[in-house]
Amino acid sequence: MSLAEAPVRDFTFTVKATDGQARTGEIRMPRGVIRTPAFMPVGTAGTVKAMYPEQVRALGADVVLGNTYHLMLRPGAERVARLGGLHKMMNWPHPILTDSGGFQVMSLAQLRKLDENGVTFRSHVDGAKHVLTPERSIEIQGLLGSDIQMQLDECVKLPCSDKEAERAMELSLRWAERSRVAFGEQPGKALYGIVQGGAVPSLRVRSARALADMGFKGYSIGGLAVGEPQEIMLAMIETVEPWLPKEKPRYLMGVGTPDDLIESVRRGVDMFDCVMPTRAGRHGQAFTRFGKLNLRNARHADDPRPIDETSSCPAARDYSRAYLHHLVKSGEILGMMLLTWVNLAYYQDLTAGMRQAIAEGRYDDFAAHTKEGWARGDLEPWAG
User: What CA–CA distances, in Å, run from 140 to 127, 183, 218, 229?
Assistant: 20, 11, 19, 34
Is 318 tagged catalytic? no
Residue 223 assigned ligand-binding role: yes
Residue 100 assigned ligand-binding role: yes
Residue 127 assigned ligand-binding role: no
Amino acid at 318: D
Residue 364 assigned ligand-binding role: no
Instruction: Count Cβ atoms below 10 Å from residue 317 Cβ, excluding itself.
Output: 15
Annotated catalytic residue within 273, 303, 308, 349: 273
Residue 103 assigned ligand-binding role: yes
Residue 99 assigned ligand-binding role: yes
Residue 259 assigned ligand-binding role: no
CA distance 202 to 281: 38
- What crossing angle do the helices spanning 363-376 and 258-266 adopt, rounded to 10°? 160
Residue 11 assigned ligand-binding role: no
The alpha carbon dihedral of 132, 139, 211, 354 has a sign of negative
Is 99 tagged catalytic? yes
Q: Are strands 96-98 and 64-66 parallel, antiparallel or unpaired?
A: parallel
Annotated catalytic residue within 19, 99, 147, 260: 99
**Annotated binding-site ranges:** 99-103, 153, 196, 223
Q: Which residues are catalytic?
A: 99, 273
**Annotated binding-site ranges for substrate:** 99-103, 153, 196, 223
